[in-house]
Amino acid sequence: MHVKTKLIGATLTAALLAGTSVMASAETLRWARAGDSLTLDPHAQNEGPTHALSHQIYEPLISPDMAAQQIPALATEWYVKEDDPNVWVFELREGVTFHDGADFTAEDVVFSINRAKMPDSDMKELLVSISEVRAVDDYTVEFVTDGPNPLLPNNLTNTFMMDKGWAEANDVTKPQDFEGGEETYAVRNANGTGPFRLVSREPDTQTVLEQNPDYWGMDDFPMEVTEIIYTPIQNAATRVAALLSGEVDFIQDVPVQDLDRVGDTEGLIVNKTAQNRTIFFGINVGDEDLQNDTVEGENPFASKQVRQAMNMAINREAIQQVVMRGQSAPTGVIMPPFVNGWTEELDQYPETDVDAAKALMEEAGYGDGFTVTMHCPNDRYINDEAICQAVVGMMGQIGIDVNLVAQTKANHFPLISNKETDFYMLGWGVPTFDSEYIFNFLVHTTTDDRGSWNGTRYSNPELDEKIKSLASEVDLEKRNQTIAEIWEVVQDETIYLPVHNQVLNWGMTENIVFPVQPEDQPHFKFMQFN
């Protein structure tokens, strides 16, 4: 396997996506979305808005473009070594500097990958097949894997490169312990190679970036945005009002109830696309007793019949029509159609049947129901709290009385990682476009290097071995068969309750030319203006 891609491809992609010629001008972009980046530490959180901001400042070796296709970033060429299928070779871009002027070299790649593999890194599941990373010379790096890994490049598109010297000087050689509430220099400061550099950072208030005049891609991308003022606005009405009044130019999450209002406003447009993200609920199937329920000494979620009843009680069409105003695609599996392993059969979901669900509850010994707490974010996904409120009512119909706790994602996500919630909402995108990504994070038993987002406490050693085998299986037919076998078990166990795949709606002023990126990642170096 040999991939040799020249940067002209990135320039052509930008021009084709925008539908206009690449040109330069000076523009300030005022950007808003519901929630802020959780941290500036590029390895601490594997979370969409966090990556979206990081992609402006830091860069991976291989980057997604605005069509979510891989293009060269800090690597210009990558291929499997001819005499050793367990080694990937990455040729690095020469002449690149960090924002403080330091040269980017292979030493920084070795440091960054090893840092991203550390226990507190939320990126480690993507790198578990890498046994060693070594610098051959200043601009050549070799990745040694535990067996051939044909999909390794897919796992690197959100793994950002840091300056080793900067990290050492500022005592941030290890990733931030986000779940533990650690504060480090890298949380509010940054030094990347990206198209924009940090000017100021006020978490949950405002972040200001300015164009990096020394960016290696100045002549290869439009680079028409010269300043970014990023303001998280959690309240949907306030966010829309800011766009309507001209206070902001671009919002990533137009509320579904305001789509027509924004689209019909002179000077504004709404662009949309299907998103590479599924919304679902996780349930604690593994603990002997739940922390937040009224059943003493046992775990009602340990009963498959209870889980099946809950899955049957969710009225996905009602959520689609009433809560999402048609802006969702109901699903029965926790992966969107973009992903290798998806099938129409897996996508089927049970017909809503309250009576049948009640019968299952009775058979499981919980005919009188029980009370449990559900945790939900209110600033992360489209109508997240409203979806949770709808599901609370649906669970009530089968005797499960749900106490809803809705809060900011900064407080919500650590509950999942720290195994402190029994019933929770989560959304999951798949940047690798392969099922292995889902399995490593959400299905594998929680260990030092896998299962960090498996809040269900589900553990299946036989399944774990199959998941591990995916990283080194080069027979794609056999690999896909293993993926199908894993999904069969996951679906049968009903450890997650899928709801729908999201539809993205970006609102912007009509002078902006910017397609919606399926992973909800706006790469502003591609943005152009009429």
State pTM to two decimals.
0.89
How high is the pLDDT of residue 454? Answer: 98
Say if residue 487's pLDDT is above 60: yes
Query: Quick check: 502 and 255 in contact, CB under 8 A?
Result: no
Tens-place pLDDT, residues 295-314: 999 999 999 999 999 999 99
Across residues 472-486, what is the average pLDDT?
95
In this structure, the number of other CB atoms found within 10 A of the CB of residue 441 comes to 20
Q: For residues 432 and 340, what is the distance between their CA atoms, to the nearest angstrom?
A: 9
How high is the pLDDT of residue 13? Answer: 37
pLDDT band at 8 (very low <50, low <70, confident <90, very high): very low
Min mean pLDDT across 106-110, 288-292, 490-494 is at 288-292
pLDDT band at 68 (very low <50, low <70, confident <90, very high): very high
What is the distance, to the nearest Å, from the Cα of residue 35 to the centroid of all Cα atoms in its chain?
Answer: 14
- Same topology between domain 2-267+510-529 and domain 275-503: no
Query: Quick check: 157 and 431 in contact, CB under 8 A?
Result: yes
Tens-place pLDDT, residues 14-45: 333 333 333 334 699 999 999 999 999 999 99
Tens-place pLDDT, residues 193-203: 999 999 999 99
Tens-place pLDDT, residues 259-280: 999 999 999 999 999 999 999 9
Say if residue 11's pLDDT is above 50: no
Q: For residues 371 and 59, what is the distance between their CA atoms, to the nearest angstrom?
A: 46
CATH architecture for the domain at 2-267+510-529: 3-Layer(aba) Sandwich (3.40)
Contacts of 98 (CB under 8 A, 6+ apart): 104, 163, 166, 191, 192, 193
**Percent of the chain, pLDDT > 90?**
94
In this structure, the number of other CB atoms found within 10 A of the CB of residue 85 comes to 16
Task: Indicate the domain borders of the chain.
Answer: 2-267+510-529, 275-503
Enclosing H/E stretch for 273: strand 268-283
Q: For residues 298 and 287, what is the distance between their CA atoms, to the nearest angstrom?
A: 9
Contacts of 65 (CB under 8 A, 6+ apart): 10, 13, 14, 17, 71, 523, 526
How high is the pLDDT of residue 1? Answer: 38
What is the SS3 string spanning 342-355?
CCHHHHCCCCCCHH
Superfamily of domain 275-503: Dipeptide-binding Protein; Domain 3 (3.10.105.10)
325 burial (CB, 10 Å; 0-12 / 13-18 / 19+) is middle
Tens-place pLDDT, residues 364-391: 999 999 999 999 999 999 999 999 999 9
Tens-place pLDDT, residues 514-523: 999 999 999 9
Strands 87-92, 140-145: pairing is antiparallel
Query: Quick check: 244 and 268 in contact, CB under 8 A?
Result: yes
Say if residue 6's pLDDT is above 90: no
DSSP string, 190-211: ---SSSEEEEEEETTTEEEEEE
Q: For residues 173 and 167, what is the distance between their CA atoms, to the nearest angstrom?
A: 5
